[in-house]
Structure 1
Amino acid sequence: MKYLFLGILLIACAGIYAQELPKTIPTGPIIKAEENKTGFPILKKEETETESRFLRDKPKAIDLRENPNNLLTAGDAIKEKWDKDKAAKEEYRNDQSLGNVVTTGKFVEVYCRDHEYVDGDRVKVIVNGQVVNPNLTLEGGFTPIMVVLQDGFNSIEFVALNQGTSGPNTAELRVVNTKGEQVAKKEWNLLTGAKAQLIVVKN
């Protein structure tokens, strides 16, 4: 009888202790045990669906060639409105040098546009003595020209076919190498018949 009473007492105490224990709800991430090279388990945090992919993925490199608009600077983003070009000066009758660019790539990409008053300026494009575009109209946005380079010196010439309806023949020129890097930014102001020349040296 004494043992029966003791058993009932132990069962009752266990029930009371179990009721007093707080209930636990898992709130943290799941932890997995994995074995390393030594054979001992290591802990690894399992990725959750809410984890940002940007923390794991490397950002994609920006290539200016994917979108010519990337060639525009912050100042260019706001389109300037011109009522007319600069005044045509006698000095614009002379040929203009746009300098030299050095590269090791097989080609460069040349982008040009009328960066002032868009009034129908036109140019002839000549690469190493060969006409690649006999009549290119300069628009407000960039027009791309692919130039395959020969070893050594390469001449790229822009001959003004007219002066549009206002002032000289005006243009902005940008040059991009095979890595998508801008390596030159130039401008010209030409009277009809004058030319602007850029030299690209391929090493």
Structure 2
Amino acid sequence: MKRILFLAIIMTVSIQGYAQKEVNSKYKPINSKNPELKEPLAPPTDTPPNTDPAPLKDETVLKINPDELFKNNILYKQEANVEGIFYRRNEYLGGFVTNSSVSTVRYRDAAFVDGDKIRVYLNDKVIEKEVNLDGEFKGFKITLVKGINKIDFEALNEGSASPNTAEFQVFDDKGVVIEASQWNVGTGYKATIILYKE
């Protein structure tokens, strides 16, 4: 009984210790000098003007149909229609227009390092035969040719945890990010990004 009484007293004291006192009634708001003047404030004059990017000269690059891109059975493994498994397919990472003559591509394992391996293609030619993805970014620089530059990342395996996951970044020659995202593909499937050099 003494323990219960002691516990009740301790709880009451601790609750009172955390309680806030109400604000006393001495608080009075400061009235405006001109209560009838209620004009909205003008926006600051040092705001930068709204400069929308110039429209792209060739917008068809951004409208590439992934179904058409992955139709070639020789270059791309066909999607496996397995219910509940969404990574047994090729993944289109987007098409981007650039004026850059050189691009840097970097990649690393997106989840935990589990032994994922990839092969990298530039315009359907192997440029990196086998890359082990780890926690540090690896990559390469490519000289872009005028027109379409297609980069494919083929999953050689899925590591110890499916699917093959990677985070990637693509930069222009000034170090500006063109695209940064992830892919999640099964063994034999490819993640594809297209850079269009004007």
Q: TM-score, normalised by structure 1?
A: 0.55
Matching of residue 181 in structure 1 with residue 176 in structure 2: yes
Aligned partner (choices 88, 91, 97) of residue 96 of structure 1: 91
1:51-95: CA deviations, max 9, x gaps? xxxxxxxxxxxxxxxxxxxxxxxxxxxxxxxxxxxxxx6221110
1:129 and 1:107 map into 2 onto residues whose CA distance is 18
For structure 1, list consecutive stretches of 5 or more residues without a partner in the other structure.
1-88
1:111 and 1:93 map into 2 onto residues whose CA distance is 23
1:83-138: CA deviations, max 9, x gaps? xxxxxx62211100000121111110001000211011000000011100010111
Matching of residue 138 in structure 1 with residue 126 in structure 2: no
Question: What percent of counterpart residues are identical?
Answer: 38
Matching of residue 161 in structure 1 with residue 156 in structure 2: yes
Aligned partner (choices 173, 188, 199) of residue 194 of structure 2: 199
For structure 2, list consecutive stretches of 5 or more residues without a partner in the other structure.
1-83
1:140-162: CA deviations, max 9, x gaps? 01102112111001100000000
Q: Report the residue type matching 1:113 in the other structure.
A: R
1:170 and 1:156 map into 2 onto residues whose CA distance is 16
Q: Report the residue type matching 1:125 in the other structure.
A: V
1:150-194: CA deviations, max 9, x gaps? 100110000000000112100001011001111211100111011
Aligned partner (choices 117, 121, 125) of residue 116 of structure 2: 121
Q: Report the residue type matching 2:160 in the other structure.
A: T
- Size of the alignment, in residue pairs? 115
**SS of alignment partner, residue 167 of structure 1:** coil
Structure with the higher helix share, 1 or 2: 1
**SS of alignment partner, residue 92 of structure 1:** coil
Runs of 4+ displaced beyond 2 Å: none
Matching of residue 110 in structure 1 with residue 105 in structure 2: yes
Q: TM-score, normalised by structure 2?
A: 0.57
Q: Report the residue type matching 1:199 in the other structure.
A: I
**SS of alignment partner, residue 86 of structure 2:** helix
Q: Report the residue type matching 1:133 in the other structure.
A: E
Which of the two has higher C-alpha Rg?
Answer: 1
Q: Report the residue type matching 1:121 in the other structure.
A: D
Partner of 2:57: none
Q: Report the residue type matching 1:152 in the other structure.
A: G
2:169 and 2:137 map into 1 onto residues whose CA distance is 9
